[in-house]
Amino acid sequence: IDYKSHPVNRDLQRFNPVRTKENTPIEEPNEDEVLLEMACVGICGSDVHYLVHGRIGDFIVDKPMIIGHEAAGVVCKLGKNVKNLKVGDRVAIEPGVPCRVCNFCKEGSYNLCPDIIFCATPPVHGNLRRYYKHAADFCFKLPANVSLEEGALLEPLSVGVHACKRAHIDIGSNVLILGAGPIGLVSLLVAKAMGACKVVITDLLQSRLDVAKELGADATFLIEKGMSEEDNIKKIHELFGEAPNRTIDASGAQASIRLAILGTKSGGIAVLVGMGAPEIQVPLINALVREVDIRGVFRYVNDYADALSLVATGKVNVKPLITHNYKIEETREAFETAKTGRGGAIKVMIHCK
């Protein structure tokens, strides 16, 4: 991986050119925490981004940071106040623990808490390690029919749940999803589970659209070079038989966000999940005169339990998203696969034991 250019990584290389193996003390859980023996950790685009670029926006990695936040593990030690879990419980880890006392937290929007401590968002370490401690109430006990791999996938799935709730998807929704990466695909699964009658998904890569089709997309649309915006909108509307009333951008690309706004039915909702360039050009007045609501999405809030219910009851099947599995000792390889997308990689899973 070409991570040599970033000054932090240059520094890291001086100490240890690989730095995928590091010994740190096993921490003692505080009174409201549990110690977890980590089972599996999925690689997210943001992990790769931090590794390659050393920053995402204002979050800058300026000292060594353990990566990983899509994870599940097994409880191996309890803090003295912990009542909701016992040793041996298999849990999914909601990676952001908010302050619980600010107004955002009190009002239930804890995803907006300015003091949230979120795994692998610098300077906070992530959980790609063998042992890791976490707030017990942000660990979700998995029922026997949900695997630890599925537990790790509750993280991206929760983003899809939050996006679909923000989009007010219900029976009769026509949903356009832009981008068929992991986030677009989980949004597709959740939109279908929430009763959307038709979901159409776009991407630049036919291989990803093929996966979307297998996962239940009613139609797919390949974005090709040289096609005009008007043509793309016309063709997408033809696939629905009308304009979609709900749109979710899961790409972050300017062209895609423009389509989300221009392609949504008047009075509909366009939800933005993809994070690309901080400033982009969009036809805002078009949204204004057609009363298209543009809504942001930041991670998830009170969505983990719903994501778990969807998996536990079989309403969504996230397993096909896992295309590659590696042992923790093979982390370098795993990141190379996630970074290049080789072998049709969608979700790369690292197993810690």
Binding site for ligand NAD (CB under 6 A): 45, 159, 178-184, 202-205, 208, 223, 250-253, 255-256, 273-276, 297-299
Nearer residue to Zn ion within complex by CB, 110 or 326:
110
Q: Which does 99 bind (CB under 5 to 8 A by kind): Zn ion, ligand NAD, none?
A: Zn ion
Contact residues: Zn ion, CB under 5 A: 98-99, 102, 105, 113
C-alpha span between 253 and 85 (Å, rounded): 42
First to last CA, the chain: 24
Q: Which does 102 bind (CB under 5 to 8 A by kind): ligand NAD, Zn ion, none?
A: Zn ion
Q: Which does 196 bind (CB under 5 to 8 A by kind): Zn ion, ligand NAD, none?
A: none
Q: Which does 253 bind (CB under 5 to 8 A by kind): Zn ion, ligand NAD, none?
A: ligand NAD
* Beta strands per DSSP E along the chain: 33-42, 55-56, 59-60, 70-78, 90-93, 96-97, 117-118, 131-135, 139-141, 174-178, 198-203, 219-222, 246-249, 269-272, 293-296, 322-327, 347-351
Q: Of 220, 221, 169, 212, whose CA–CA distance to 190 is shortest?
A: 169
Q: Which does 79 bind (CB under 5 to 8 A by kind): Zn ion, ligand NAD, none?
A: none
Q: Which does 113 bind (CB under 5 to 8 A by kind): Zn ion, ligand NAD, none?
A: Zn ion
Nearer residue to ligand NAD within complex by CB, 64 or 276:
276
CB of 200 to ligand NAD, least distance (A): 12
Nearer residue to ligand NAD within complex by CB, 136 or 215:
215
CA distances from 141 to 72, 73, 130, 154, 198 (A): 10, 10, 19, 12, 33
The SS3 call for residue 6 is coil
CB of 242 to ligand NAD, least distance (A): 21
Cα atoms in the 13 Å half-sphere on the side-chain side of 350? 28
Q: Of 321, 275, 264, whose CA–CA distance to 298 is shortest?
A: 275
Residue 234 CB contacts under 8 Å (≥ 6 apart), including other chains: none
Cα angle for residues 211, 338, 76 (degrees, 5° grid):
100
Nearer residue to ligand NAD within complex by CB, 184 or 268:
184
Nearer residue to Zn ion within complex by CB, 115 or 229:
115
CB of 14 to ligand NAD, least distance (A): 30
The SS3 call for residue 185 is helix
Contact 19, 64 (CB under 8 A): yes
Instruction: Record the tokens describing residue 173, joined without a space.
Output: 């929704």
CB of 281 to Zn ion, least distance (A): 34
Nearer residue to ligand NAD within complex by CB, 244 or 274:
274
Q: Which does 105 bind (CB under 5 to 8 A by kind): Zn ion, ligand NAD, none?
A: Zn ion
State which residue has the least CB distance to ligand NAD: 181
CB of 163 to ligand NAD, least distance (A): 8
CB of 110 to ligand NAD, least distance (A): 14
Nearer residue to ligand NAD within complex by CB, 90 or 208:
208
